Amino acid sequence: MRNPPPQAVRLADYRPPAFLIDAVDLDISLDRSKTRVAARLAIRRNPAGQAGAPLALDGDGLVLRRVALDGAPLAPEAYEATPDSFLLRAPPEGPFTLEIETDVDPSANTQLSGLYRSGSAYCTQCEAEGFRRITYFLDRPDVLSVYTTRIEADKSEAPVLLGNGNPVGAGDLDGGRHFAIWRDPFPKPCYLFALVGGDLGHISESYRTSSGRDVELAIYVERGKEPFASYAMDSLVRSMRWDEQAFGREYDLDVFNIVAVSDFNMGAMENKGLNIFNDKYVLASPETATDSDYAGIESVIAHEYFHNWTGNRITCRDWFQLCLKEGLTVYRDQEFSADQRSRAVKRISDVRGLRAQQFPEDAGPLAHPVRPSLYHEINNFYTATVYEKGAEIVRMLKTLIGEADFRRGMDLYFARFDGTAATVEDFLACFAEASGRDLAQFSLWYEQAGTPQISVQSDYDAAAKTFTLALEQSTPPTPGQSDKKPFVIPLALGLIGENGDELTLSAAPGETGASGEECARGVVELSTPKRKIVFENVPSRPVASLLRGFSAPVRLAPPQSAEDLERLLAHDSDSFNRWQAAQSLALRSVFARIEAARGGEGADDKAFFDALKRLVEAGEGDPSLVAQALSLPSEIDIAREMGKDVDPDVIYSARSGLRRDLGRFLAPALAEAHARFAPQEGFSPDAASAGRRAMRNVALDLLAAGDPASGGPLAERQFAEATNMTDRICALATLSHLPGAAREDAFAAFYERYRKDHLVVDKWFALQSTIPEVETTARVARLMAHEDFSLANPNRVRAVVGSFANGNPTRFHALDGSGYALLERVVLELDPKNPQLAARLLSALRSWRSLEERRRKIAETTLRRILATPDLSADVSDIATRALG
Ligand code: ARG
Ligand code: ZN
């Protein structure tokens, strides 16, 4: 039987709930296949809701055991229950208590939503709509309740029992069972409910908040893994301190628990007082974790902790407002990491991520506004647009109104909406009030999808000593939005003089001038389709450094000349734009090589390469910034810049050519840097040490690209002698591009060494899936038959199939269709087990329309065949439908 087509949910249809649930008492008796859930709900009519409505609760696959109203069993004709719904036909007018008992089977839960088992532990994931898989409920974020949870289990199987809030009771029972009672005094929506039961180890620490409250912190992990949780604990303590200092937010319960599990669909979850994490974002040691793993742990720990205020104390009215908590919380975690590490490097890596994930989403058929107005499956809207572009909007808001008004607006938001379920309008109103500025036009950032393009014409008038910038914005059409209104775009800029000095901005009087304030801050606002700005007292032709710090999520066009970019690369005071200049120069070179392959003129890279050489040799400054400048745009970056008729093979060979030539040109400097940044005594995950490793490894990789005969053995040696995972995996990555016995031996040795550590084995799988060779597709099929492969573990599936589809463009887009066929096979096999994960994998095809014709056709046929498959989940059918739309 075919599932009914998923129902469209529209923002415009939002109605307050007809009922409110003030208190929830749960009694949950854990059992592997038959967990009994007894819920007592204190319900009353919502004065703001529809009068006279029946009570309709959500369910999903539930088995109803017993139901009672105000203590008396309900007559069968008084209600109607299916696995997916519960209807109380004529609820009392006054407050009442509804008792419901359901059975759920955690072992059979392969979707990893609701109550499920990960390893030998019980855990839950309720966002977005998992609570209805535990008990019948008003499963919507605007119903806030106080929860008391009694958890009962076999003491030997689950000596640890955790819930939301504070522990208020525990004891032993007959038959080897025991219980714990948890009470969370803060009203919350059910998506923040969580419980954990299992035989787990933990580390703990005491924390005193700025006002002197004591909090017990604990991180629970698989027994034996306790030492691997210390960096996560350190990150947690730093996050708590930072939120007090940067936003005046203190923690509010007596305990804060984090549990790491191996089977998790996403990164982590901010359940009140009981965060549940993908163990990838908890466990680390120098021997097993890379610098980017450490950075990931720090940012995800911070992210989930920061949700305590932005998400939990103030939650979302409905799921259309998801960016209200996610965009804001990503902004907060990015600022935290920037303060803990190097702000410039953090910004570069965030922008790289935004361009790699969000820009393609915004440019393809899955484009949607940061606040969508319609969805079929909410789980498909946990996207780069909602998260990362959502964070950029908050950052722009701060740029536009200034730091002081931004902080006042945040304070107002916390004060006014604490304990409520809010909207984007509520949020913006606080900043409008704090700054006295009308934010109506600014709110278009939440409403209109698509990446604005800004075109720039500049003109220097030597006689008048004026410099004119003519700016123009336009935003391409996106699904359902053909005409776009102009955005308010904060454009941070500066002018670089002939000798590389920063010129003082001075605006010509009159309407073409920038305001004094704009000049002083170095930020101009573009809020109309066009704007012309004239600067005066400009002694000689300057180069404009535009969009400094990536002050808005836009594209700039047309590209600047090579000479201008070289001036910026050498002299810009803005580190981001120095890096951007290197990227732009590399892109020019790649495109020139593509032209040359078609018979056009070749690339002249001399000046660009010389500039990079000076950077490598300079030796002073931040090695991680030099490493970033040497990290060429990825194949995916290049495809995105191409925009249409993308041929991944052409991109691959042009990029490889650039890497080879650059590696040869820089060889002596790279070899020197590789030696200079050799590991020091002792390991530290801090930003400075990570920067040295980044520089060393980018040098190794380029050396090998330039001369495999010398770079290969160097990589082999580094692989064998590495004292930390970053150096080891980077050496293996370099080797992975050099076919031959040495490579296969290294992969075999790596597996032998780490086979017991699933997170490291994921790296082993992922690296093999991204080898850009014809044989890789067959290798991936072999990896999926490996004894360590399982479709039940999302990290493993992402390591093998996700890496292949998103990180191996030439093989995934192979002309014979073998890459798409592999994805199709996995998506269809996975869909009945874990539809969320299947849908995520399928979104690797989101940019199919930008491919050249032959590949485009195969991709389209693949999507159509998937969509025609019977019994498709709502998740996968939604992605396939929109991708084709
Ligand atoms: N709120 C979580 C976060 O911190 C994400 C949970 C999403 N889960 C899901 N099944 N869609 O970002
Ligand atoms: Zn989040």
Question: Residue 359: exposed, middle, or buried by beta-carbon count in 10 A (0-12, 13-18, 19+)?
Answer: buried
Bond from prior residue into 785 cis (ω within 30 degrees of 0): no
Atom of ligand 1 nearest to the CA of 300: 4
How far apart are alpha carbons 256 and 250 in whole angstroms? 12
| pLDDT above 90 as % of the chain | 96
The per-residue pLDDT for 2 is 42
Average pLDDT on 503-526 reads 89
Per annotation, catalytic residue among 304, 326, 518, 566: 304
pLDDT at 765 over 60: yes
Predicted pLDDT of residue 619: 72
The ligand 1 atom nearest the CA atom of 130: 10
Number of the ligand closest to the Cα of 331 = 2
Residue 559: per-residue pLDDT? 83
Res 6: pLDDT: 73
Ligand 1 centroid from CA 382, angstroms: 7
Distance from Cα 194 to the centre of ligand 2, integer Å: 16
Nearest bound ligand to the CA of residue 330: 2
Atom 5 of ligand 1, nearest CA residue: 269
Name the closest ligand to CA 325. Answer: 2
Q: Which protein residue's CA is at the shortest distance from atom 4 of ligand 1?
A: 269
> Ligand 1: which residues within 6 Å by Cβ?
127-128, 265-266, 268-270, 303-304, 326, 379, 382, 836
In this structure, the residue with its CA closest to atom 3 of ligand 1 is: 269
Please compute the mean of the pLDDT values over residues 9-34 and round it to a whole number: 98
Q: Which ligand is nearest to the CA of 310?
A: 2
DSSP state of 851: B
- For residue 470, the cross-strand partners are 457, 532
Q: How far is the CA of 864 from the centre of ligand 1 (A)?
A: 29
Q: Ligand 1, closest atom to CA 326?
A: 12
At 795, list the tokens: 């990290």
Give distance in angstroms: CA of 447 to centre of ligand 2: 20
Token pair 């991180």 in the structure block, residue: 219
Alpha helices in 309-441 (DSSP H): 322-340, 343-353, 359-363, 384, 390-401, 403-417, 424-435
Closest protein CA for atom 8 of ligand 1: 127
Residues 6+ apart with CB under 8 A from 435: 401, 402, 405, 408, 409
Q: What Rg, from alpha-carbon coordinates, does the chain have?
A: 28
pLDDT at 516 (0 to 100): 87
* pLDDT of amino acid 4: 61
Q: Do 27 and 101 touch, CB atoms closer than 8 A?
A: no
**Residue 520 CB burial class (10 angstroms; 0-12, 13-18, ≥19):** exposed
Going from the Cα of 66 to the center of ligand 2, the distance in angstroms, rounded, reads: 36
Summarize pLDDT for 397-454 with one digit per residue, the tens.
999 999 999 999 999 999 999 999 999 999 999 999 999 999 999 999 999 999 999 9
Distance CA 574, CA 583 (A): 14
Atom of ligand 1 nearest to the CA of 836: 10
Span 533-581, pLDDT tens digits: 999 999 999 999 999 999 999 999 988 999 999 999 999 999 999 999 9
Distance between CA 691 and CA 345 in Å, rounded? 9
Give the DSSP letter of residue 674.
Answer: H
- Separation CA 102–CA 65 (nearest Å): 5
- Residue 1: pLDDT band by 50, 70, 90 thresholds? very low
DSSP three-state, residue 287: coil
Element (H, E) at 57: strand 55-58
Q: Closest ligand 1 atom to the C-alpha of 303? A: 4
Q: What pLDDT digit, counting tens, does each position of 771-803 carry? A: 999 999 999 999 999 999 999 999 999 999 999
Which pLDDT band, with edges at 50, 70 and 90, does 3 fall under?
A: low
Task: Please report, for residues 13, 344, 401, the alpha-carbon distance to residue 404 in angstroms, rounded to integers and kept in the order given.
Answer: 37, 22, 8
Average pLDDT, integer, range 605-632? 93
Report the atom number in ligand 1 closest to the C-alpha of 311.
1
Helix (H) or strand (E) holding 638: helix 635-642
Longest dimension (CA), the chain: 95
**Which residue, judged by its Cα, is nearest atom 7 of ligand 1?**
127
Nearest alpha-carbon partner for 247 in 346, 333, 315: 333
And the tokens for 568?
A: 């910026």
Q: What distance in Å separates the CA atoms of residue 91 and residue 99, rounded to the nearest whole number?
A: 13
pLDDT tens column, 835-864: 999 999 999 999 999 999 999 999 999 999
Distance 188 CA to ligand 1 centre (A): 16
The pLDDT score that the predictor gives to residue 510 is 80
Q: Determine the Cα–Cα distance for residues 821 and 847; give it in Å rounded to an integer.
A: 17
For each of the domains in the chain, give its residue range(s) and CATH number, in order of start: 10-198 (2.60.40.1730), 315-447 (1.10.390.10), 453-552 (2.60.40.1840), 559-744 (1.25.50.10), 755-885 (1.25.50.10)
CA dihedral over 575, 577, 581, 584, signed as positive or negative: positive
Q: What backbone phi and psi angles, to 5 degrees, belong to 451?
A: -95, 120
Q: Is the pLDDT of residue 512 over 90?
A: no
What is the SS3 assignment for 318?
coil
User: Degrees (nearest 5) of the Cα angle 722, 300, 846?
Assistant: 95
Contact 26, 39 (CB under 8 A): yes
Residue 360's Cβ-side half-sphere holds a number of Cα atoms within 13 Å equal to: 24
Cα–Cα distance for residue pair 598/857, rounded to 1 Å: 24
Q: Quote the CA–CA distance of 724 and 472 in Å, as a whole number.
A: 49
* Count of other CB atoms within 10 angstroms of residue 109: 19
Contact, 726 vs 689, CB < 8 A? no
What does the CA dihedral 385, 387, 390, 394 come to, rounded to 10 degrees?
-160
How much is the average pLDDT of 302-319?
99
Average pLDDT of the chain? Answer: 97
What's the burial of 176, exposed, middle or buried (CB within 10 Å: 0-12/13-18/19+)?
Answer: exposed
pLDDT, mean of residues 860-870: 98
pLDDT above 70: residue 80: yes
For 132-165, how does the pLDDT look when each residue is reduced to its tens digit (9 = 90+)?
999 999 999 999 999 999 999 999 999 999 999 9
Pocket test for ligand 1, best of 111, 261, 382 (most atoms within 8 A of CB): 382
Mean pLDDT of 42-60: 97
Q: How far is the CA of 445 from the centre of ligand 1 (A)?
A: 22
Residue 853 CB neighbour total at 10 angstroms: 8
Q: Nearest 10 degrees: CA dihedral of 679, 684, 686, 692?
A: 0
Active-site residue, 304 included: yes
**Nearest to residue 497, comparing CAs of 459, 538, 461, 463?**
538
Q: How far apart are CA 338 and CA 345, in angstroms?
A: 8
Q: Mind giving me the DSSP string for 449-487?
A: -S--EEEEEEEEETTTTEEEEEEEEE---BTTB-S-PPP
State the pLDDT at residue 603: 80
Tell me the pTM: 0.98
Q: How far is the CA of 310 from the centre of ligand 1 (A)?
A: 14
Q: Which ligand places an atom closest to the C-alpha of 270?
A: 1
Residue 713 Cα distances to 630, 708, 717, 751, angstroms: 22, 8, 6, 20
**Nearest to residue 731, comparing CAs of 721, 741, 772?**
721
pLDDT of 5: 64
In the predicted structure, residue 210 carries a pLDDT above the cut 80: yes
Identify which of 191, 193, 266, 274 to mutate to test ligand 1's pocket (most ligand atoms within 8 A of the CB): 266
Contact 449, 362 (CB under 8 A): yes
User: What single string gives the DSSP state of each residue in 571-618?
Assistant: H-S-HHHHHHHHHHHHHHHHHHHHHHHTTS-----HHHHHHHHHHHHH
Question: Which of 109, 111, 127 has most ligand 1 atoms within 8 Å of CB, for mutation?
Answer: 127
